[in-house]
Amino acid sequence: MSQFILTKAAIAETEGDQLFSVRLIDRRTGEVPNVNGVPLSLLTMSPRAAVSAFMQGRDQHVWRTEIEPVPSLAGRSHGAAF
């Protein structure tokens, strides 16, 4: 089961209209760490701020982040389930 947390950054802090998925990755395993079986990942319009928050206090030799743009649902004719 994947779970995302949508951050509510102030308009001035957003980096545009694009939504991004940001994940923390353990370099030793190549996997996203889990908390109670839920992967540590989030959705945000401020990926740099999310990366900064994820990496705060973490060893960069052990941890890295992945950022992916989330495709817009606008213009899709088949709809989407949430």
Query: In this structure, is residue 20 part of a structural domain?
Result: yes
Domains held by the chain: number: 1
Instruction: State yes or no: pLDDT of 35 exceeds 70.
Output: yes
Tell me, what's the pLDDT at 75? 52
Query: In this structure, is residue 56 part of a structural domain?
Result: yes
Query: In this structure, is residue 74 part of a structural domain?
Result: no
Task: Please state, for a pLDDT cut of 90, what percent of the chain lies above it.
Answer: 56
Confidence of residue 79 (pLDDT cuts 50, 70, 90): very low
Confidence of residue 10 (pLDDT cuts 50, 70, 90): very low
Query: In this structure, is residue 3 part of a structural domain?
Result: no
Residues contacting residue 70 through CB under 8 Å, at least 6 positions apart: 18, 19, 20, 21, 43
Q: Which domain holds residue 28?
A: 15-69
What mean pLDDT is reported for the chain?
79
Query: In this structure, is residue 62 part of a structural domain?
Result: yes
Query: In this structure, is residue 45 part of a structural domain?
Result: yes
pTM across the whole model: 0.69
Query: In this structure, is residue 77 part of a structural domain?
Result: no
What distances in angstroms separate CA 3 from CA 57, 66, 74, 76, one per listed residue? 23, 16, 22, 23
Query: In this structure, is residue 78 part of a structural domain?
Result: no
